[in-house]
Amino acid sequence: MIEIVNIEKTAYDKFVGQFEGFVKKMTEMGNRGTNKCLGDWLDNDEVCRILRISKRTLQTLRDNGTLAYSQISHKTYYKQEDVDKVMKDVKDRKKAAAWRKPRKVSKAKADNEDV
């Protein structure tokens, strides 16, 4: 059996407006976590694997401010772009260190130069 309920047009319009506002707010709340500009977040194990470092070294990078992080419920997260920056910095330091190292000269070669 179908029931028919009659209401005034102004009451109906008010109800529809409130319902549309509710739907809009719920849609906004649902979209909060899908913001693409936030990027991917990595946990400790992923960062250690990517950088090939120990958890203690990772702690040192956090402590000295080399690597930015966020902590949620006792779990630490890192942005991918921050990890990439640390990787680039490490590569640059290795290149600079390679240029500063004195080249080893074999003893035979050094003896020939003395002659």
Evaluate whether residue 17 is within a structural domain. no
Number of domains in the chain: 1
pLDDT, residue 28, reads 85
CA 3 to chain centre: 55
**pLDDT score, position 91:** 83
* pTM given for the model: 0.51
Q: Give pLDDT, residue 96.
A: 82
- Which domain range does residue 95 map to? 43-100
What's the confidence (pLDDT) of residue 97? 79
CB atoms within 10 A of CB 78: 24
The answer as to whether 32 is a domain residue is no
User: One digit per residue, pLDDT tens: the chain, 115 residues?
Assistant: 899 989 999 999 999 999 999 999 988 887 776 555 546 899 999 999 999 899 999 999 999 999 999 998 889 999 999 999 999 988 888 788 778 766 666 666 656 665 5
Say what the pLDDT of residue 100 is. Answer: 77
* Confidence (pLDDT) at 108: 62
Q: CA 93, 62, 72 angle in degrees (round to 5)?
A: 140
Residue 19 confidence (pLDDT): 94
